[in-house]
Amino acid sequence: MFTDLDYELEEDKLGIPTVPGTVTLKKDGQNLIGISIGGGAQYCPCLYIVQVFDNTPAAVDGTLAAGDEITGVNGKPVKGRTKVEVAKMIQAVKVKGRGRRRRTDGSLCVCLSLCVLDSLCVSVALMSLLSSLQGEVNIHYNKLQADPKQGKSLDIVLKKVKHRLVENMSSGTADALGLSRAILCNVTVDVFVADGLVKRLEELEKTAELYKGLMEHTKRLLRAFFELSQTHRAFGDVFSVIGVREPQAGASAAFVQFAEAHRNIEKYGIRLLKTVKPMLHDLNTYLHKAIPDTKLTIRKYLDVKFEYLSYCLKVKEMDDEEYSCIALGEPMYRVSTGNYEYRLILRCRQEARARFANMRKDVLEKIELLDQKHVQDIVFQLQRFVSGMSHYYDQCYAVLKEADVFPIEVDLSRTMSNYGVSRDPYTEEEEEEEEEEGEGGGGEGNGAQADGGREENGAEKLVDDE
Protein backbone atom coordinates (compact mmCIF):
# COMPACT_ATOMS: atom_id res chain seq x y z
CA MET A 1 0.00 0.00 0.00
CA PHE A 2 2.89 2.31 0.76
CA THR A 3 5.05 1.45 -2.26
CA ASP A 4 4.69 4.98 -3.60
CA LEU A 5 6.15 6.52 -0.43
CA ASP A 6 9.83 7.44 -0.18
CA TYR A 7 10.13 6.14 3.37
CA GLU A 8 9.28 2.93 5.23
CA LEU A 9 7.20 3.00 8.39
CA GLU A 10 8.69 1.33 11.44
CA GLU A 11 6.75 -1.16 13.51
CA ASP A 12 4.77 0.41 16.34
CA LYS A 13 4.82 -2.28 19.04
CA LEU A 14 2.89 -0.17 21.58
CA GLY A 15 5.50 -1.12 24.16
CA ILE A 16 4.70 -4.84 23.83
CA PRO A 17 7.86 -7.00 23.87
CA THR A 18 8.30 -10.08 21.67
CA VAL A 19 10.39 -13.22 22.22
CA PRO A 20 11.56 -15.39 19.27
CA GLY A 21 11.15 -19.17 19.27
CA THR A 22 10.60 -22.30 17.21
CA VAL A 23 8.07 -25.08 17.58
CA THR A 24 7.67 -28.39 15.72
CA LEU A 25 4.10 -29.49 15.08
CA LYS A 26 2.80 -32.77 13.67
CA LYS A 27 -0.03 -32.39 11.21
CA ASP A 28 -3.40 -34.05 11.61
CA GLY A 29 -5.11 -36.32 9.13
CA GLN A 30 -6.34 -33.33 7.09
CA ASN A 31 -2.77 -32.00 6.62
CA LEU A 32 -3.44 -29.06 8.99
CA ILE A 33 -1.87 -27.74 12.18
CA GLY A 34 -4.96 -25.77 13.29
CA ILE A 35 -4.18 -22.04 12.93
CA SER A 36 -5.54 -19.19 10.83
CA ILE A 37 -3.13 -16.53 9.53
CA GLY A 38 -3.60 -12.80 9.04
CA GLY A 39 -1.55 -9.85 7.80
CA GLY A 40 1.20 -10.16 5.22
CA ALA A 41 1.89 -8.42 1.94
CA GLN A 42 0.83 -6.03 0.66
CA TYR A 43 -0.82 -4.23 3.56
CA CYS A 44 0.99 -5.46 6.68
CA PRO A 45 4.74 -5.97 7.10
CA CYS A 46 4.31 -9.10 9.25
CA LEU A 47 2.21 -12.24 9.34
CA TYR A 48 0.50 -13.25 12.58
CA ILE A 49 -1.79 -15.91 14.01
CA VAL A 50 -5.43 -14.85 14.12
CA GLN A 51 -6.87 -17.92 15.86
CA VAL A 52 -5.80 -21.30 17.22
CA PHE A 53 -8.58 -23.82 16.70
CA ASP A 54 -9.63 -26.27 19.39
CA ASN A 55 -8.51 -29.92 19.36
CA THR A 56 -5.82 -29.34 16.75
CA PRO A 57 -2.05 -29.99 16.89
CA ALA A 58 -1.34 -26.31 17.61
CA ALA A 59 -3.93 -26.21 20.41
CA VAL A 60 -2.67 -29.45 21.95
CA ASP A 61 0.93 -28.21 21.86
CA GLY A 62 -0.06 -24.86 23.39
CA THR A 63 3.03 -22.93 22.26
CA LEU A 64 1.46 -20.76 19.58
CA ALA A 65 -1.23 -18.24 20.51
CA ALA A 66 -3.31 -15.62 18.76
CA GLY A 67 -1.30 -12.48 18.03
CA ASP A 68 2.07 -14.25 17.69
CA GLU A 69 4.07 -13.33 14.60
CA ILE A 70 5.16 -16.05 12.16
CA THR A 71 8.70 -15.36 10.94
CA GLY A 72 9.49 -18.60 9.10
CA VAL A 73 8.38 -22.09 8.06
CA ASN A 74 10.93 -24.93 8.07
CA GLY A 75 13.81 -22.48 8.13
CA LYS A 76 12.48 -20.36 5.25
CA PRO A 77 11.64 -16.71 6.09
CA VAL A 78 8.16 -15.48 5.27
CA LYS A 79 8.90 -11.74 5.26
CA GLY A 80 7.13 -10.06 2.33
CA ARG A 81 4.90 -13.07 1.57
CA THR A 82 1.12 -13.15 1.61
CA LYS A 83 -0.85 -15.22 4.09
CA VAL A 84 -2.00 -17.51 1.26
CA GLU A 85 1.61 -18.24 0.33
CA VAL A 86 2.53 -19.01 3.94
CA ALA A 87 -0.46 -21.35 4.26
CA LYS A 88 0.69 -23.20 1.15
CA MET A 89 4.21 -23.46 2.58
CA ILE A 90 2.79 -25.18 5.68
CA GLN A 91 0.54 -27.49 3.68
CA ALA A 92 3.33 -28.43 1.28
CA VAL A 93 5.11 -30.38 4.02
CA LYS A 94 3.24 -33.68 3.67
CA VAL A 95 5.97 -36.23 4.37
CA LYS A 96 9.61 -36.12 5.42
CA GLY A 97 11.00 -36.07 1.88
CA ARG A 98 9.61 -37.85 -1.13
CA GLY A 99 12.88 -39.62 -1.99
CA ARG A 100 12.90 -41.13 1.44
CA ARG A 101 9.43 -42.64 0.98
CA ARG A 102 10.66 -45.21 -1.58
CA ARG A 103 13.58 -46.16 0.61
CA THR A 104 11.24 -46.61 3.55
CA ASP A 105 8.84 -48.71 1.50
CA GLY A 106 11.75 -50.86 0.31
CA SER A 107 13.06 -51.33 3.83
CA LEU A 108 9.58 -52.31 4.89
CA CYS A 109 9.39 -54.95 2.15
CA VAL A 110 12.79 -56.34 3.14
CA CYS A 111 11.74 -56.38 6.78
CA LEU A 112 8.51 -58.16 5.92
CA SER A 113 10.31 -60.76 3.79
CA LEU A 114 12.94 -61.44 6.45
CA CYS A 115 10.58 -61.42 9.42
CA VAL A 116 7.36 -62.71 7.90
CA LEU A 117 7.02 -65.19 10.75
CA ASP A 118 7.83 -62.67 13.42
CA SER A 119 4.71 -60.61 14.19
CA LEU A 120 6.64 -58.25 16.45
CA CYS A 121 8.95 -57.17 13.62
CA VAL A 122 5.96 -56.66 11.33
CA SER A 123 4.34 -54.35 13.91
CA VAL A 124 7.54 -52.34 14.33
CA ALA A 125 7.87 -51.94 10.58
CA LEU A 126 4.28 -50.73 10.22
CA MET A 127 4.75 -48.20 13.03
CA SER A 128 7.89 -46.81 11.37
CA LEU A 129 6.01 -46.49 8.08
CA LEU A 130 3.16 -44.58 9.71
CA SER A 131 5.51 -42.22 11.50
CA SER A 132 7.33 -41.48 8.24
CA LEU A 133 4.03 -40.68 6.53
CA GLN A 134 3.05 -38.22 9.27
CA GLY A 135 4.25 -34.72 8.28
CA GLU A 136 5.97 -32.34 10.68
CA VAL A 137 6.44 -28.61 10.22
CA ASN A 138 8.76 -26.19 12.04
CA ILE A 139 7.19 -22.82 12.79
CA HIS A 140 9.47 -19.90 13.67
CA TYR A 141 7.66 -17.21 15.61
CA ASN A 142 7.93 -14.10 17.74
CA LYS A 143 5.89 -14.63 20.92
CA LEU A 144 3.78 -11.59 21.80
CA GLN A 145 4.33 -10.89 25.53
CA ALA A 146 1.01 -9.10 25.92
CA ASP A 147 -0.69 -8.16 29.17
CA PRO A 148 -4.48 -8.73 28.92
CA LYS A 149 -5.04 -5.59 31.00
CA GLN A 150 -3.69 -3.52 28.10
CA GLY A 151 -6.52 -4.72 25.89
CA LYS A 152 -9.28 -4.11 28.44
CA SER A 153 -10.02 -0.54 27.43
CA LEU A 154 -13.01 1.67 28.10
CA ASP A 155 -14.44 0.58 24.76
CA ILE A 156 -14.47 -3.06 25.94
CA VAL A 157 -16.18 -2.08 29.22
CA LEU A 158 -18.89 -0.17 27.33
CA LYS A 159 -19.40 -3.13 25.02
CA LYS A 160 -19.90 -5.37 28.06
CA VAL A 161 -22.60 -2.98 29.26
CA LYS A 162 -24.19 -3.10 25.82
CA HIS A 163 -24.29 -6.90 25.85
CA ARG A 164 -25.85 -6.89 29.33
CA LEU A 165 -28.57 -4.59 28.07
CA VAL A 166 -29.20 -6.62 24.94
CA GLU A 167 -29.30 -9.95 26.82
CA ASN A 168 -32.98 -9.65 27.79
CA MET A 169 -34.16 -7.42 24.93
CA SER A 170 -36.25 -8.40 21.98
CA SER A 171 -34.75 -7.93 18.52
CA GLY A 172 -37.21 -5.14 17.71
CA THR A 173 -36.30 -3.14 20.79
CA ALA A 174 -32.59 -3.65 20.18
CA ASP A 175 -32.93 -2.55 16.54
CA ALA A 176 -34.78 0.57 17.64
CA LEU A 177 -31.94 1.39 20.02
CA GLY A 178 -29.27 0.67 17.41
CA LEU A 179 -27.91 -2.42 19.17
CA SER A 180 -28.60 -4.96 16.43
CA ARG A 181 -24.89 -5.63 15.84
CA ALA A 182 -24.48 -6.77 19.44
CA ILE A 183 -27.42 -9.12 18.96
CA LEU A 184 -25.88 -10.46 15.74
CA CYS A 185 -22.58 -11.10 17.50
CA ASN A 186 -24.38 -12.69 20.43
CA VAL A 187 -26.36 -15.03 18.18
CA THR A 188 -23.50 -16.05 15.89
CA VAL A 189 -20.90 -16.57 18.59
CA ASP A 190 -22.95 -17.78 21.53
CA VAL A 191 -26.10 -19.36 20.14
CA PHE A 192 -25.18 -22.73 21.66
CA VAL A 193 -25.17 -21.12 25.12
CA ALA A 194 -28.53 -19.39 24.81
CA ASP A 195 -30.41 -22.63 24.24
CA GLY A 196 -29.07 -24.91 26.97
CA LEU A 197 -27.96 -22.69 29.81
CA VAL A 198 -30.92 -20.30 29.79
CA LYS A 199 -33.25 -23.27 30.05
CA ARG A 200 -31.21 -24.60 32.97
CA LEU A 201 -31.44 -21.22 34.68
CA GLU A 202 -35.22 -21.21 34.30
CA GLU A 203 -35.38 -24.70 35.80
CA LEU A 204 -33.19 -23.52 38.68
CA GLU A 205 -35.58 -20.64 39.42
CA LYS A 206 -38.53 -23.03 39.41
CA THR A 207 -36.67 -25.36 41.78
CA ALA A 208 -35.98 -22.45 44.14
CA GLU A 209 -39.70 -21.55 44.15
CA LEU A 210 -40.57 -25.20 44.85
CA TYR A 211 -38.23 -25.29 47.85
CA LYS A 212 -39.65 -22.03 49.18
CA GLY A 213 -43.13 -23.53 49.04
CA LEU A 214 -41.93 -26.72 50.75
CA MET A 215 -40.32 -24.71 53.54
CA GLU A 216 -43.45 -22.66 54.16
CA HIS A 217 -45.66 -25.75 54.13
CA THR A 218 -43.27 -27.59 56.49
CA LYS A 219 -43.28 -24.64 58.91
CA ARG A 220 -47.08 -24.53 58.95
CA LEU A 221 -47.22 -28.29 59.42
CA LEU A 222 -44.82 -28.19 62.37
CA ARG A 223 -46.78 -25.38 63.96
CA ALA A 224 -50.07 -27.25 63.53
CA PHE A 225 -48.63 -30.47 65.00
CA PHE A 226 -47.21 -28.56 67.94
CA GLU A 227 -50.61 -27.05 68.69
CA LEU A 228 -52.21 -30.49 68.30
CA SER A 229 -49.68 -31.96 70.74
CA GLN A 230 -50.47 -29.22 73.25
CA THR A 231 -54.17 -30.01 72.90
CA HIS A 232 -53.53 -33.71 73.56
CA ARG A 233 -51.51 -32.82 76.63
CA ALA A 234 -54.34 -30.58 77.89
CA PHE A 235 -56.80 -33.42 77.37
CA GLY A 236 -54.50 -35.76 79.27
CA ASP A 237 -54.23 -33.31 82.19
CA VAL A 238 -58.00 -32.82 82.38
CA PHE A 239 -58.80 -36.54 82.27
CA SER A 240 -56.06 -37.22 84.82
CA VAL A 241 -57.65 -34.74 87.25
CA ILE A 242 -61.05 -36.35 86.70
CA GLY A 243 -59.58 -39.81 87.30
CA VAL A 244 -57.87 -38.74 90.53
CA ARG A 245 -61.03 -37.17 91.93
CA GLU A 246 -63.33 -39.95 90.83
CA PRO A 247 -64.37 -41.94 93.95
CA GLN A 248 -65.32 -45.06 92.01
CA ALA A 249 -62.33 -47.27 91.38
CA GLY A 250 -63.44 -48.54 87.95
CA ALA A 251 -64.28 -45.10 86.59
CA SER A 252 -61.12 -43.58 88.08
CA ALA A 253 -58.90 -46.22 86.41
CA ALA A 254 -60.70 -45.67 83.09
CA PHE A 255 -60.20 -41.90 83.20
CA VAL A 256 -56.54 -42.29 84.20
CA GLN A 257 -55.94 -44.75 81.37
CA PHE A 258 -57.61 -42.43 78.88
CA ALA A 259 -55.51 -39.52 80.18
CA GLU A 260 -52.32 -41.56 79.85
CA ALA A 261 -53.25 -42.38 76.25
CA HIS A 262 -53.51 -38.66 75.41
CA ARG A 263 -50.19 -37.96 77.10
CA ASN A 264 -48.59 -40.70 75.02
CA ILE A 265 -50.09 -39.18 71.88
CA GLU A 266 -48.51 -35.88 72.89
CA LYS A 267 -45.12 -37.63 73.21
CA TYR A 268 -45.55 -39.24 69.80
CA GLY A 269 -46.34 -35.82 68.35
CA ILE A 270 -43.13 -34.37 69.82
CA ARG A 271 -41.15 -37.25 68.31
CA LEU A 272 -42.76 -36.53 64.94
CA LEU A 273 -41.74 -32.89 65.25
CA LYS A 274 -38.14 -33.92 65.98
CA THR A 275 -38.24 -36.17 62.91
CA VAL A 276 -39.72 -33.61 60.53
CA LYS A 277 -37.89 -30.54 61.84
CA PRO A 278 -34.51 -31.46 60.21
CA MET A 279 -36.31 -31.14 56.88
CA LEU A 280 -36.32 -27.38 57.45
CA HIS A 281 -32.56 -27.31 57.94
CA ASP A 282 -31.93 -29.39 54.81
CA LEU A 283 -34.33 -27.36 52.69
CA ASN A 284 -32.87 -24.14 54.06
CA THR A 285 -29.32 -25.28 53.21
CA TYR A 286 -30.31 -26.07 49.64
CA LEU A 287 -32.35 -22.87 49.21
CA HIS A 288 -30.03 -20.35 50.88
CA LYS A 289 -26.59 -21.88 50.25
CA ALA A 290 -26.52 -24.27 47.29
CA ILE A 291 -28.74 -22.25 44.95
CA PRO A 292 -27.17 -18.81 45.75
CA ASP A 293 -23.68 -20.30 45.28
CA THR A 294 -24.70 -21.59 41.85
CA LYS A 295 -26.23 -18.21 40.97
CA LEU A 296 -22.99 -16.49 41.99
CA THR A 297 -21.06 -18.81 39.68
CA ILE A 298 -23.53 -18.03 36.91
CA ARG A 299 -23.06 -14.29 37.45
CA LYS A 300 -19.30 -14.75 37.14
CA TYR A 301 -19.85 -16.83 34.04
CA LEU A 302 -22.05 -14.13 32.49
CA ASP A 303 -19.38 -11.52 33.20
CA VAL A 304 -16.76 -13.65 31.40
CA LYS A 305 -19.22 -14.37 28.60
CA PHE A 306 -19.96 -10.69 28.01
CA GLU A 307 -16.25 -9.88 28.08
CA TYR A 308 -15.58 -12.54 25.44
CA LEU A 309 -18.44 -11.25 23.29
CA SER A 310 -17.09 -7.71 23.67
CA TYR A 311 -13.71 -8.77 22.31
CA CYS A 312 -15.46 -10.60 19.45
CA LEU A 313 -17.37 -7.43 18.62
CA LYS A 314 -14.18 -5.36 18.84
CA VAL A 315 -12.38 -7.72 16.43
CA LYS A 316 -15.31 -7.50 14.03
CA GLU A 317 -15.25 -3.70 14.14
CA MET A 318 -11.49 -3.62 13.51
CA ASP A 319 -11.89 -6.07 10.61
CA ASP A 320 -14.61 -3.89 9.09
CA GLU A 321 -12.42 -0.85 9.50
CA GLU A 322 -9.52 -2.57 7.76
CA TYR A 323 -11.70 -3.85 4.91
CA SER A 324 -13.11 -0.35 4.39
CA CYS A 325 -9.65 1.16 4.10
CA ILE A 326 -8.58 -1.55 1.65
CA ALA A 327 -11.68 -0.96 -0.45
CA LEU A 328 -11.04 2.78 -0.52
CA GLY A 329 -7.33 2.31 -1.19
CA GLU A 330 -6.41 4.38 1.84
CA PRO A 331 -3.50 3.49 4.14
CA MET A 332 -4.13 2.48 7.77
CA TYR A 333 -1.42 3.30 10.27
CA ARG A 334 -1.93 0.41 12.68
CA VAL A 335 -1.92 -2.16 9.87
CA SER A 336 1.16 -0.71 8.18
CA THR A 337 3.10 -0.66 11.46
CA GLY A 338 2.56 -4.30 12.39
CA ASN A 339 -1.10 -4.24 13.49
CA TYR A 340 -0.06 -4.70 17.13
CA GLU A 341 -3.27 -3.22 18.50
CA TYR A 342 -5.31 -5.75 16.55
CA ARG A 343 -2.99 -8.57 17.62
CA LEU A 344 -3.38 -7.51 21.26
CA ILE A 345 -7.18 -7.74 20.93
CA LEU A 346 -6.80 -11.17 19.30
CA ARG A 347 -4.75 -12.37 22.27
CA CYS A 348 -7.29 -10.95 24.74
CA ARG A 349 -10.11 -12.62 22.82
CA GLN A 350 -8.36 -15.99 22.92
CA GLU A 351 -7.74 -15.77 26.68
CA ALA A 352 -11.31 -14.56 27.28
CA ARG A 353 -12.61 -17.49 25.24
CA ALA A 354 -10.55 -19.93 27.32
CA ARG A 355 -11.96 -18.44 30.55
CA PHE A 356 -15.43 -18.50 29.04
CA ALA A 357 -15.14 -22.19 28.12
CA ASN A 358 -13.85 -23.10 31.59
CA MET A 359 -16.56 -21.11 33.36
CA ARG A 360 -19.25 -22.60 31.15
CA LYS A 361 -18.01 -26.07 31.99
CA ASP A 362 -18.02 -25.26 35.72
CA VAL A 363 -21.52 -23.80 35.54
CA LEU A 364 -22.94 -26.79 33.70
CA GLU A 365 -21.29 -29.20 36.14
CA LYS A 366 -22.60 -27.24 39.12
CA ILE A 367 -26.12 -27.12 37.75
CA GLU A 368 -25.96 -30.84 36.98
CA LEU A 369 -24.82 -31.64 40.53
CA LEU A 370 -27.51 -29.33 41.89
CA ASP A 371 -30.17 -31.11 39.86
CA GLN A 372 -28.97 -34.50 41.12
CA LYS A 373 -28.95 -33.24 44.71
CA HIS A 374 -32.42 -31.80 44.19
CA VAL A 375 -33.84 -35.13 43.00
CA GLN A 376 -32.11 -37.15 45.74
CA ASP A 377 -33.00 -34.61 48.42
CA ILE A 378 -36.66 -34.45 47.47
CA VAL A 379 -36.96 -38.24 47.53
CA PHE A 380 -35.17 -38.46 50.91
CA GLN A 381 -37.27 -35.70 52.50
CA LEU A 382 -40.54 -37.18 51.27
CA GLN A 383 -39.54 -40.61 52.51
CA ARG A 384 -38.64 -39.14 55.91
CA PHE A 385 -41.95 -37.27 56.11
CA VAL A 386 -44.14 -40.18 54.99
CA SER A 387 -42.30 -42.59 57.30
CA GLY A 388 -42.66 -40.23 60.28
CA MET A 389 -46.36 -39.62 59.67
CA SER A 390 -47.06 -43.32 59.18
CA HIS A 391 -45.24 -44.22 62.40
CA TYR A 392 -47.08 -41.46 64.27
CA TYR A 393 -50.53 -42.59 63.15
CA ASP A 394 -49.73 -46.25 63.86
CA GLN A 395 -48.67 -45.40 67.40
CA CYS A 396 -51.75 -43.22 67.98
CA TYR A 397 -54.04 -45.96 66.69
CA ALA A 398 -52.40 -48.56 68.91
CA VAL A 399 -52.55 -46.48 72.09
CA LEU A 400 -56.16 -45.44 71.53
CA LYS A 401 -57.12 -49.01 70.77
CA GLU A 402 -55.69 -50.08 74.15
CA ALA A 403 -57.51 -47.19 75.84
CA ASP A 404 -60.95 -48.32 74.70
CA VAL A 405 -62.59 -47.65 78.10
CA PHE A 406 -66.00 -46.31 77.08
CA PRO A 407 -68.73 -46.41 78.19
CA ILE A 408 -67.79 -45.48 81.79
CA GLU A 409 -70.38 -45.86 84.57
CA VAL A 410 -70.30 -42.91 87.01
CA ASP A 411 -72.38 -42.29 90.17
CA LEU A 412 -73.11 -38.61 89.76
CA SER A 413 -74.16 -38.05 93.37
CA ARG A 414 -70.89 -39.40 94.74
CA THR A 415 -68.85 -37.72 91.96
CA MET A 416 -70.33 -34.25 92.61
CA SER A 417 -69.70 -34.50 96.35
CA ASN A 418 -66.11 -35.50 95.64
CA TYR A 419 -65.56 -32.46 93.40
CA GLY A 420 -66.79 -30.12 96.17
CA VAL A 421 -65.28 -29.69 99.61
CA SER A 422 -63.85 -32.85 101.05
CA ARG A 423 -66.67 -33.84 103.51
CA ASP A 424 -70.04 -35.62 103.49
CA PRO A 425 -72.79 -34.54 101.08
CA TYR A 426 -74.78 -31.48 102.00
CA THR A 427 -78.10 -31.60 103.87
CA GLU A 428 -80.83 -29.08 103.38
CA GLU A 429 -80.38 -27.61 106.88
CA GLU A 430 -76.62 -27.17 106.45
CA GLU A 431 -77.16 -25.57 103.07
CA GLU A 432 -79.62 -23.03 104.60
CA GLU A 433 -77.17 -22.23 107.42
CA GLU A 434 -74.37 -21.66 104.87
CA GLU A 435 -76.58 -19.34 102.87
CA GLU A 436 -77.35 -17.30 106.01
CA GLU A 437 -73.68 -17.12 106.88
CA GLY A 438 -72.88 -16.10 103.34
CA GLU A 439 -75.43 -13.29 103.45
CA GLY A 440 -73.99 -11.96 106.73
CA GLY A 441 -70.31 -12.45 105.72
CA GLY A 442 -67.91 -10.08 103.93
CA GLY A 443 -66.71 -10.00 100.32
CA GLU A 444 -64.17 -12.72 100.91
CA GLY A 445 -66.85 -15.20 101.87
CA ASN A 446 -68.87 -14.32 98.83
CA GLY A 447 -65.82 -14.71 96.60
CA ALA A 448 -64.92 -18.08 98.06
CA GLN A 449 -68.49 -19.27 97.66
CA ALA A 450 -68.54 -18.06 94.06
CA ASP A 451 -65.30 -19.89 93.27
CA GLY A 452 -66.66 -23.06 94.82
CA GLY A 453 -69.82 -22.70 92.77
CA ARG A 454 -67.80 -22.29 89.56
CA GLU A 455 -65.73 -25.33 90.38
CA GLU A 456 -68.83 -27.40 90.96
CA ASN A 457 -70.44 -26.14 87.78
CA GLY A 458 -67.24 -26.86 85.81
CA ALA A 459 -66.98 -30.37 87.14
CA GLU A 460 -70.65 -30.92 86.48
CA LYS A 461 -70.18 -29.76 82.91
CA LEU A 462 -67.20 -32.08 82.31
CA VAL A 463 -69.16 -35.02 83.62
CA ASP A 464 -72.26 -34.07 81.64
CA ASP A 465 -70.17 -33.80 78.49
CA GLU A 466 -68.82 -37.25 79.05
Task: In whole angstroms, give the CA distance from residue 462 to residue 349.
Answer: 85
Residue 38: per-residue pLDDT = 92
How high does pLDDT run on average in the chain?
76
Q: Is the model's pLDDT at 464 over the cut of 80?
A: no
pLDDT at 214: 84
Of 378 and 347, the structure prediction assigns the larger pLDDT to 347
Model pLDDT for residues 395-410, shown as the tens digit of each residue: 999 998 888 887 877 7
Q: Does residue 47 contact residue 83 with C-beta atoms inside 8 Å?
A: yes
Is 247:415 a contact under the CB 8 Å cutoff? Answer: yes
In angstroms, rounded to a whole number, what is the distance separating the alpha carbons of residues 321 and 254? 99
Contact 22, 139 (CB under 8 A): yes
Cβ atoms of 38 and 86 within 8 Å: the answer is no
Tell whether the model's pLDDT for residue 77 goes beyond 50: yes
Residue type, 127: M
Give the pLDDT confidence score for residue 429 in this predicted structure.
Answer: 58
pTM (two decimals): 0.62
In this prediction, residues 154-159 reach a mean pLDDT of 88
Q: Express each pLDDT in 211-260 by its tens digit.
A: 888 888 888 888 998 999 999 999 999 999 988 888 888 888 888 999 99
pLDDT band of 261, cuts 50, 70, 90: very high
Task: Give the pLDDT confidence score for residue 37 in this predicted structure.
Answer: 93
Q: Which of the residue ranges 100-114, 355-369, 433-447 would you say has the lowest mean pLDDT?
A: 100-114
Question: pLDDT confidence of 364, banded at 50, 70, 90?
Answer: confident
pLDDT at position 175, please?
67
Q: Which of 49-58, 110-119, 326-335, 401-410 has the highest mean pLDDT?
A: 49-58
The mean pLDDT of 304-309, rounded to a whole number, is 88
How many percent of the chain have pLDDT more than 90?
A: 24
Percent share of the chain, pLDDT over 70? 71
CA neighbor of 129 nearest in space, from 96, 94, 105, 109:
105
